[in-house]
Amino acid sequence: MDDSLAHVDPEERVLRVLDYELKSLKKDRKVYLQQPNSNLYFLCTRVDALSYLERERERLVIKKKVAKKPSL
């Protein structure tokens, strides 16, 4: 395993790999996004997939902040 990703939690690691894979595609390539909680995939552009990835990263950051917040 790459030492630079050893300390990263699995969900963040998946998002980093996905980001790299999407950015390495040609700009006109189409990708499929999975509908949450189902086995349906929808055709979209690379740009749509990158924007979805950015939203997922923001969700993960918020999730981490809530987890770090001390409970009262």
Nearest to 52 by CA among 26, 24, 17, 15: 15
pLDDT the model gives residue 2? 57
Buried b vs exposed e over 15-29: b needs ≥16 C-beta within 10 Å?
beebbeebeeeeeee
pLDDT-derived band at 38 (thresholds 50, 70, 90) equals: very high
Q: What is the pTM of this model?
A: 0.75
| 15 found inside a domain | no
| 33 found inside a domain | yes
| 4 found inside a domain | no
| 48 found inside a domain | yes
Report the domain count for the chain: 1
What distance in Å separates the CA atoms of residue 34 and residue 37, rounded to the nearest whole number?
Answer: 8
| 72 found inside a domain | yes
Residue 39 has pLDDT above 90, yes or no: yes
Mean residue pLDDT across the chain: 87
What residue numbers bound the domain in which 71 lies? Answer: 26-72
